[in-house]
Structure 1
Amino acid sequence: MPSWLFNEGPKWLFMFLWLGANIGLYFGFHYRFELGIKYYYLRKILGSALAVARGSAACLNFNCMLILIPVCRNLISMMRGSCRCTPRSVRRILDKNLTFHKLVAWAVVFHTALHTGAHMFNYLFFLTAGKEVMNAVPSDLNPVADGETDGIKVMFTTVAGVTGHVIIIVLFLMVTSSIEVMRRSYFEIFWYTHHLFVIFFGCLIAHGVQGLVKGQTNPGVYNANNPDENDDTLQDPLVCYAFHSGDYSDLSDYNNISVIKGNKNGDLVSYCALGNATVAAGGAQTWKWVIGPLFLYFLERIVRFYRSCQQVVVTKVVAHPSKVLEIQMKKRGFHAEAGQYVFVSAPEVRYFEWHPFTLTSSPEEDYFSVHIRLVGDWTEKLAKRCGMGVKDADFKQAYEMPVILIDGPFGTPSEDIFRHEVGIGIGAGIGVTPFASVLKSLWYQSLDPHTTMKLKKVYFFWICPDTGAFEWFQSLLQHLEEQMLERGTTDFLEYHIYLTRGWDPKMAREIYMKEDEEGDIITGLQQKTNYGRPHWDNIFAELGRRHPGVDMGVFFCGPKVLSGVLHKMCNEYSDATGTDGARFFYNKENF
C-alpha cells in the first residue's frame, strides 16, 4: 500500500463516491429522457437537449441538497468533537467541510450553466417547431409556440423563466463575491451577498412548479397483427408519430412495418388520434431533495440565534503591539475546547456582520479571549470603540465597552492534538493564533497530577514574517518557557522560531556578535531564532528518526502555499506500515 494512502485514502474515497453519485444521476436521467418512451413525443420537438437539461437538473438537485450541510457548523462540531466514537479518518473529512462546500458550489455553477444552455436550445426548438412535427404530437407539449404567443414575453412571464433568471443573477453575485481576493478585500460584500441563498433556494423550489416539461402518461405498444387486442386507453407514440408525420425511421424494430404503413384508414385513425395521448408534468421535485438540509440549517440558525442573544461581559481589553487587540470575556455556560473558534459581532460597528476568530484562551482559564489583528474597517472601528488608541483608554469601565455577541464555539482540527502521542504545531503569520489556546491548555494539563495525557511530546514551529509581528505570542512563549524551566519540564515542549524577513545589515551584525550569548537578542527566549525558511525535508526526516512507529499529528494554520508543502511532506515521510517509521497525519485549520 502506498505510504500516502492511509492519509489520503478516506478523502479520495469520499470524493469518488460524490463524483460517482453525480455521474450516476446525470446519465441515469439522461438515459430516461433520451430513450424513455414516455418522452418520445417531446423529444421530437426538442431533440437531445431535453436529456441534457434533465440530467443536469438532477445533479443540481443533488448538489443543492449537499451544499448547506457543510455549513451547519454545530452539526459538524458535534460529529467531530462531541461524538468521541467518530474515527480519525471521519474527523479529518469533517474538517474539510468548507473545502467540500466550495467544491459543491462549483458543481452547482457547472450544472447551472449546462442546464441553462440546454434550455436555451429547448426554448429555441419550441419557438421554431415545424408544422409537420406539431401536427404529429399532442399540442399540450409545447407551452411556447401556439401561433399567437409572444415567445420573448413567455420567457419573462412563466414561473420557470422568471425564477431561472433570478437564480442565475443570484448565483453570479454569490460566486463572484466569494472569490478569495474579493472575500479578503471586501468581506462585507461577501457576507451580505452570500445571504442571497434564501432567494436562491426559494426560486429553486418554485422553478418547476408550473410543469412546462411534460411526458405522455399512457404510452403502450401497438399490436399490428391483432389490432382488436390493443388497449384503447394506451397509445404507442412511435407508431402514431409515424402515422401522422409519414416518418417511419424509428419503426425499424417493428416486424410488420408494412402493415402499419398500409393502415391509413383502418384502426390507426382512431387509435392514433392525438387527443387519445394524455400528457402531464411530473410535478416539482426539487423540494423533495432540499427540504431535509433546509430544515437542518433552520435548526442551526435557531441555535446560533439563541446563543448569540446570551449576554457577554467584556472583562478586559488589552492593546498589544503590532496593532493587535485582545478582548477577554465571560459568558454564562460557555465552554470551549482548546483550538476552537467563535463568531464575533459588534452591533455598534455593523449590526448584521459576523467574523470568525480563534479562541486564544484555554479551557482551564475563567474567561475566554480572542486576539484581533487590525486589518480592516470593522476591526479598526471595534478597536476604537474599545478605547484602543484613545487617550485615557485605561480608565474605561466595563459598562462603557461595546456590546459583543458571540456565536460558538465551533470545532477545529487543533482539538485532535491531544489524541496523538506526538503533536506538531506549525503556525505561519496570523496562523499562529490557534496554538495560543492549545499551548496554554497543554501547560495547565501537564501541571494537573490528576490528568493523564496521551500526548507526551509537542513540537512547535513558528514562522514569523518580521521582528515586529505578534509580540503578544512571543510573551506567551516566554511565560511558558519560564514555567518549564522552574519545574524542569523543558522536554515536553520543543519550539523553533523562524524569522523570514525584517532584519537589516546592522541587526545582522549585532546577531552575529552576540551569537555565543545565552538567549535570543530578538525574542528574549532561550531558544535561538532561525533566520530564513525551514528546511522541511530535514525536519520531517529527523522527526521520523526520533519517533519510529509513532502516529504523529501535524497541525497547520497559515498560507495555502505552505500548506501544500507540508501536506506533501506528511505523505512523503510517512511509513504506511507504522512499524519501522512514523506516520504523519496532516490537519489544516479551515474556517
Structure 2
Amino acid sequence: MVGCWILNESLSVILVFSWLGVNLYLFIDTFCWYEEEESFLYTRVILGSALAWARASAVCLNFNCMLILLPISRNLISFVRGTSICCRGPWARQLDKNVQFHKLVAYCIAVNATIHIAAHFFNLERYHQSQSAEAEGLLATLSKLGNTPNESYLNPIRTFHTNTAAELLTTIAGVTGLVISLALILIMTSSTEFIRQASYELFWYTHHASVIFFFSLAIHGAGRIVRGQTPESLLLHNITFCRDRYAEWQAAAQCPTPQFSGKEPSAWKWVLGPVVLYLCERIIRFWRFQQEVVITKVVSHPSGVLELHMKKRNFKMAPGQYIFLQCPSISSLEWHPFTLTSAPEEDFFSVHIREAGDWTKALLKAYGAEGQTLREPWSLPRLAVDGPFGAALTDVFHYPVSVCIAAGIGVTPFAALLKSIWYKCCEPQAELKLGKVYFYWICRDSRAFEWFADLLLSLETQMTEKGKTHFLSYHIFLTGWDENQAVHIALHWDENTDVITGLKQKTFYGRPNWNSEFRQIAYNHPSSNIGVFFCGPKALSKTLRKMCRLYSSADPRGVHFYYNKESF
C-alpha cells in the first residue's frame, strides 16, 4: 500500500520536499551567516543568537511571500497547463493542487512570522536591558555609542527609562510589523473551513487584506533597526584586535570608534516580481469584467438549482473547466467559481448554480428562481465572466479508462464531460485514447436527479443507436428517501425503466461499496492506467484516495489508479 501511495504521490512528495529543502537551506545558511559574520559581531554581543533567529526566519518569510501569490494566479496556471507539453498526467495533477500548496506556503509564513516576532521581542528586551545600570564592560560601551558627536549608534533604545513598546510604535519597523501581523491573523483565521462555509463573503473580503500585507512587508525594513558595522569601519577597526580594548577606542589610533549602519531592506526584492505578475492577473480579470456576456436562457430546476446559458465573444472551453461569475448588482467585488456544464461543441456555455450561501441566494432571487416567474433574459441583471480555467477533469481523455464520481451538486463538471464524450463518439474521424468511462453519482434528494437525468437519458438513447452502449457505464445512488417514495419504488420496480430517473439502468439505494466497485474495475482492466476523478465532500474524497492506493498494483505492469480531485 505504501508503494502504491508513492506511485501516485511521488512527484508531489518530491516537490514538497524540494520546497522544504529550500526553506531549510535558507534558514540554516542565513542563521550561520549572522552567527559568524564579522560586521555583526558587536550586534551579537548585545543580542546573542536571537539576531540570527530573527534574520533567518525573515529570509524564509520573504521566500514564501514570493511564492504565495503564484498558486492563485489562475491565468498563469491555465497558460502553463495549456502551452506546456509536460503538464499532462502527473505534472497536471500538481497544477490541480495549487490551492493546497497555497495553504501550505501560508502555514510556513505563519510559523516563520511567529519565530521572527518572538526573536525580535527578545532582541528588544536585550536592547533595553543593555542600557541598565547593571550593564558593564563591552556591552555597556556598545550601548552608549552615539551619545557623543561623530558616533553612530548600535542600540536603538537610547535610555533605560524608554518605554520600549511606545518607542517601537514610533518606528517604521514597529508599525509595519504590527500591521503585517494583524493582516496575517485576519487572513488566516477567516480562511478556516468553518468560516468559509459559514460566510464565504467574509473570507473573500478579508483575503484582500493581502494588499496591506504586501505593502507593509515591502517597507518593513526601511527603518534599518538591526545594525551592523560598516565595511569602511571594518577596514579601520580590526574586531579581533579591538574587541577586548573597548576602553581605548577613542584614544588608540589602531582602534577608532566603530561605525554602524542598518542593513539594506530586501523584502521588496523578493516579492516585486510576483506582485507585478499578480497585478497583471488582476488587469486581465478587469478586462474580462468589461466584456459583454449575453444570457440566452434561464432554467429553474428542482432542489434550488438555476441553469444559465450564456454567450461571450471568443469564449473557448474544454470539458471540466470552470469560470468565475460576478453580478455587480449583488456585489461589485465578489467573484464565485462555477463549473461549466456545457460541452465545447455547443454554441453556448452554461452553469448550474445551487443555493449555498448569501451570494448564490441573492443571485437565484435576482433571476427569479425562488418559485417566481422566470424573467426574460434581456431584463436580467448583468453578469461578468472570468475564465475559463483548467481543472483536474480536463485530463479525463488522457487515460484509457476513467472513473468519474460525483456527490450532490458535484455532478456539474461531469455534465460537460459526458456531453463532450458523446460528441466525440459521434465523430467518425475522432481518435480517442479513452475507451471506457465509469460514472457514479451519489445524491440525497431524488428531485436533484431531474435535470441531470434528462442528459443521461439522451446519452443512453443516442449511444444505443450508435451501438456504443459499452462505452459508458453509469451507476446512480440515492441515499435519502421517505416512506411514500419507498412504496412507489416497490410498486414500479418491475418496469423496464427506473421509476426515479426514467433510465434503463436502475437506481441503487444506499451508498456504494467502494471496495467492491474498485475491485471489479481493477479486475476488468488488469494492466491499465485508470484515472479517478471526483467532485464532492472531503470525507468521501479521503475514502476514494484510500481506495486508489489500496487497489493499485505495486507491479509497474499492473493496474494503477490515479486520483484527481476537482477543486477551485
Q: TM-score, normalised by structure 2?
A: 0.93
* 3-state secondary structure, aligned to 2:396: helix
Residue pair 1:37, 1:219 contacting (<8 A) in 2 also: no
1:77-117 CA-partner distances (Å, limit 9, x unpaired): 12123333434221111110000001111111111111111
1:307-348 CA-partner distances (Å, limit 9, x unpaired): 121100000100001110011000010011111000000001
Give the 5 Å matches for 1:118-133.
118-130=119-131, 131-132=135-136, 133=139
Shift, 1:399, TM fit: 2.2
Shift, 1:194, TM fit: 0.6
Shift, 1:36, TM fit: 2.3
Q: Quick one: distance in 1 between partners of 2:196 and 2:264?
A: 38
> Is it true that 1:434 corresponds to 2:413 in the alignment?
yes
Residue of structure 2 in register with 1:519 after alignment: 497
Residue pair 2:439, 2:474 contacting (<8 A) in 1 also: yes
Shift, 1:513, TM fit: 4.8
Q: Quick one: distance in 2 between partners of 1:391 and 1:5?
A: 53
Residue of structure 1 in register with 2:207 after alignment: 194
Give the 5 Å matches for 1:508-547.
508-547=486-525
Give the 5 Å matches for 1:24-103.
24-103=25-104
Greater shift in the superposed pair: 81-90 or 537-546? 81-90
Residue of structure 2 in register with 1:279 after alignment: 260
Is there any run of 5+ residues in structure 2 with no aligned partner, and where? Answer: 147-152
Match of 2:529 among 551, 558, 562: 551
Q: Quick one: distance in 1 between partners of 2:70 and 2:449?
A: 35
* 3-state secondary structure, aligned to 2:441: strand
> Is it true that 1:319 corresponds to 2:305 in the alignment?
no
Residue pair 1:56, 1:114 contacting (<8 A) in 2 also: yes
Shift, 1:6, TM fit: 2.3
Residue of structure 2 in register with 1:292 after alignment: 273
Greater shift in the superposed pair: 179-188 or 54-63? 179-188
* 3-state secondary structure, aligned to 2:350: strand
Residue pair 1:214, 1:280 contacting (<8 A) in 2 also: yes
Give the 5 Å matches for 1:101-500.
101-130=102-131, 131-132=135-136, 133-136=139-142, 138-139=145-146, 140-146=153-159, 149-218=162-231, 233-244=235-246, 269-273=252-256, 275=257, 277-389=258-370, 391-393=372-374, 396-500=375-479
Q: Quick one: distance in 1 between partners of 2:292 and 2:9?
A: 43
* 3-state secondary structure, aligned to 2:222: coil
Identity between Structure 1 and Structure 2 (%): 48
* 3-state secondary structure, aligned to 2:252: helix
Residue pair 1:421, 1:457 contacting (<8 A) in 2 also: yes
1:452-472 CA-partner distances (Å, limit 9, x unpaired): 111111000111123233421
1:239-297 CA-partner distances (Å, limit 9, x unpaired): 4332237xxxxxxxxxxxxxxxxxx79x9933233x2x232222010111111111111
1:351-376 CA-partner distances (Å, limit 9, x unpaired): 11111000011100000011000122
Shift, 1:549, TM fit: 1.3
Residue of structure 2 in register with 1:6 after alignment: 7
Q: Quick one: distance in 2 between partners of 1:470 and 1:135?
A: 81
Q: Quick one: distance in 1 between partners of 2:405 and 2:83?
A: 25
Q: Quick one: distance in 2 between partners of 1:293 and 1:576?
A: 41
Q: Quick one: distance in 2 between partners of 1:199 and 1:134?
A: 39
The residue identity in structure 1 corresponding to 2:547 is M
Residue pair 1:322, 1:470 contacting (<8 A) in 2 also: no
Shift, 1:448, TM fit: 1.3
Q: Quick one: distance in 2 between partners of 1:151 and 1:295?
A: 37
Number of matched residues? 555
* 3-state secondary structure, aligned to 1:450: coil
1:21-72 CA-partner distances (Å, limit 9, x unpaired): 1111111111111232221101111111111111110110010000000011
Q: Quick one: distance in 2 between partners of 1:489 and 1:424?
A: 17
* 3-state secondary structure, aligned to 2:261: strand
Who wins on radius of gyration, i.e. which is larger?
1
Greater shift in the superposed pair: 22-31 or 329-338? 22-31
Shift, 1:403, TM fit: 0.5
Q: Quick one: distance in 1 between partners of 2:447 and 2:82?
A: 36
Q: Quick one: distance in 2 between partners of 1:470 and 1:200?
A: 46
Residue of structure 1 in register with 2:149 after alignment: none
Shift, 1:128, TM fit: 1.5
Greater shift in the superposed pair: 143-152 or 365-374? 143-152
The residue identity in structure 2 corresponding to 1:571 is R
Q: Quick one: distance in 1 between partners of 2:543 and 2:166?
A: 55
Greater shift in the superposed pair: 543-552 or 470-479? 470-479
Q: Residues 506 and 207 from structure 1, CA distance in 2 versus in 1: closer, same or farther, beyond 3 angstroms? A: same
The residue identity in structure 2 corresponding to 1:206 is I
Shift, 1:551, TM fit: 0.8
> Is it true that 1:566 corresponds to 2:555 in the alignment?
no
Residue of structure 1 in register with 2:23 after alignment: 22
Q: Quick one: distance in 1 between partners of 2:62 and 2:502?
A: 58
Q: Residues 63 and 470 from structure 1, CA distance in 2 versus in 1: closer, same or farther, beyond 3 angstroms? A: farther
Q: Quick one: distance in 1 between partners of 2:470 and 2:210?
A: 51
* 3-state secondary structure, aligned to 1:498: strand
Residue pair 1:324, 1:371 contacting (<8 A) in 2 also: yes
The residue identity in structure 1 corresponding to 2:56 is G
Greater shift in the superposed pair: 542-551 or 57-66? 542-551
Residue pair 1:40, 1:238 contacting (<8 A) in 2 also: no
Residue pair 2:405, 2:440 contacting (<8 A) in 1 also: yes
Tell me how large the CA RMSD over aligned residues is. Answer: 2.1
Q: Quick one: distance in 1 between partners of 2:251 and 2:40?
A: 21
Q: Quick one: distance in 1 between partners of 2:114 and 2:456?
A: 52
Shift, 1:485, TM fit: 2.4
Shift, 1:511, TM fit: 3.5
Q: Quick one: distance in 1 between partners of 2:66 and 2:466?
A: 55
* 3-state secondary structure, aligned to 2:464: helix
Residue pair 2:323, 2:337 contacting (<8 A) in 1 also: yes
Q: Which runs of 4+ in 1 moved over 6 A?
A: none
Is there any run of 5+ residues in structure 1 with no aligned partner, and where? Answer: 221-231, 246-263
